[in-house]
Amino acid sequence: MSSDTNLLPMVLTSYSMPHAMGYLPTQAGAPCPEPITEFALIGLAADAGLAGVEMPLSATDTASDDALRALLEAHNMRVVIDCMSLLSFDAETFRGYLRRSAAMGAKVVRAMISGLLCGDRRSLAGGWDAHLDAVAARLREALPIAEDLGLCIAMENHQDATTDDLLRLHEMVGYSTAYGITLDTGNPLAVGEDPVEAARRMAHLIRHVHCKDYTIHFAPEGYRLVRCAAGDGVIDFPAILEIVHNTEHAVFPGIEVAAQQTRTIPILEPSWWECYPPRPATDLLGALQILWRNGRPQGEPYSSAWERGKDSSAVRKEELALVERSIAYFKEISSCHASMDKESKEQSQYGID
């Protein structure tokens, strides 16, 4: 068993490796021939010196829950449980999922408001406000149970919700203490927001983080967000993690590589904006400054091995390489932060300002 003091206080997210985990076939439709199991994911995290894992529970293999919990306990690991959009479950199924999550030892269940991407609400039947009302109703049913189980339901900004939406949802559920937010660090850009400012505004509710990076590219519709290893893109992780770690909650962020598909954010299309309430143009400054400082040329190649139609072996190899580089990046900045803290304490000890 590893000592907590020797672990990087972050967890490995299964969705960083969608093909290798068996969630996503190749473009040709080929599944990963030997997908990583939840048990193997725990082993990968342990070998990497991480504090835990984030993963969904199997909808069909409930018999494995006890064995998974035993393995987590053997490695002294934390677990964050994933679920998809709340409205993809009926109320009773979701209550059962919460009970299984608590039995697994989880304190946080990450959930989604919708499956929309790229901030594009145009395809949502009935409109965004009606959808948010339905999600709030489902949460009001589930949050008392979550509170009794010692769980937080942490709603993610999954390229659909703005900071205002997530804060509004907290109000709509009566400011429940079992309501929280999963901050995906890359996703504020999908709705035209500055990631650091989004973290600052939501800090008091953040219970989990997806530490995800993107490179940003100019596009005719607006800009593209392209998956990359942490540290290779535009996200200011030190600033965001400082905000998160200065809250009252103990948060173990997830190391996440973005989805295989490039995200094109059509902020230059008027119909995209029609699905949002009016907002000051200055609200876009943070995202646009990131684009203008770091935007890559429109014609620069950006596709992943999966997007280029490569075979399973190539896709899996690229996914694992990006995860390994991301883990190395967070270990590096964690080490630098620890060294700076040590130096600061030594200077304070000797009266040096």
Sequence-distant (≥ 6) Cβ neighbours of residue 220 within 8 angstroms = 268, 298
The owner of tokens 């937010």 is 181
Contact between residue 221 and residue 269 where contact means Cβ atoms under 8 Å apart? yes
Has residue 258 got a pLDDT over 80?
yes
Q: What is the pLDDT of residue 321?
A: 98
- pLDDT range class, residue 61, cuts 50, 70, 90: confident
Fold of 4-349: TIM Barrel (3.20.20)
Measured torsion, CA atoms of residues 233, 237, 238, 243, in degrees rounded to the nearest 10? 150
Distances in Å between the alpha carbon of 215 and those of 287, 317, 325? Answer: 13, 20, 15
Q: What is the pLDDT of residue 4?
A: 55
Q: Measured between alpha carbons, how far is 191 from 166 in angstroms, rounded to an integer?
A: 13
Do the strands 206-211 and 108-112 form a parallel or antiparallel pair, or are they unpaired?
unpaired
Would the pTM count as exceeding 0.85? yes
Which SS3 state, helix, strand or coil, does residue 271 take? helix
Q: What is the pLDDT of residue 335?
A: 80
Q: What is the pLDDT of residue 246?
A: 96
Q: What is the DSSP string of 94-156?
A: HHHHHHHHHHTT-SEEEEES-S--TT--TT-TT-HHHHHHHHHHHHHHHHHHHHHHT-EEEEE
Has residue 350 got a pLDDT over 50?
no
Read off the pLDDT of residues 270-324 as tens digits, 9 standing for 90 and up. 999 999 999 999 999 999 999 999 999 999 999 999 999 999 999 999 999 999 9
Secondary element (H or E) of residue 41: helix 38-47
- pLDDT range class, residue 51, cuts 50, 70, 90: very high
Read off the pLDDT of residues 189-248 as tens digits, 9 standing for 90 and up. 999 999 999 999 999 999 999 999 999 999 999 999 999 999 999 999 999 999 999 999
Q: Domain spans of the chain?
A: 4-349
Q: What is the pLDDT of residue 92?
A: 93
- pLDDT range class, residue 141, cuts 50, 70, 90: very high
| CA dihedral for 202, 77, 38, 63, sign (positive or negative) | negative
Read off the pLDDT of residues 11-42 as tens digits, 9 standing for 90 and up. 999 999 999 999 999 999 999 999 999 999 99
Residue 253: Cβ within 10 Å count: 27
Sequence-distant (≥ 6) Cβ neighbours of residue 242 within 8 angstroms = none
Q: What is the pLDDT of residue 2?
A: 41
The owner of tokens 């959009």 is 85
- pLDDT range class, residue 340, cuts 50, 70, 90: very low
Q: Measured between alpha carbons, how far is 101 from 79 in angstroms, rounded to an integer?
A: 9
The number of C-alpha atoms within 13 Å of 141 and in the hemisphere containing its C-beta is 16
| CA dihedral for 341, 347, 349, 353, sign (positive or negative) | negative
Strand 222-227: give its sheet, edge to edge. 214-219, 222-227, 263-265
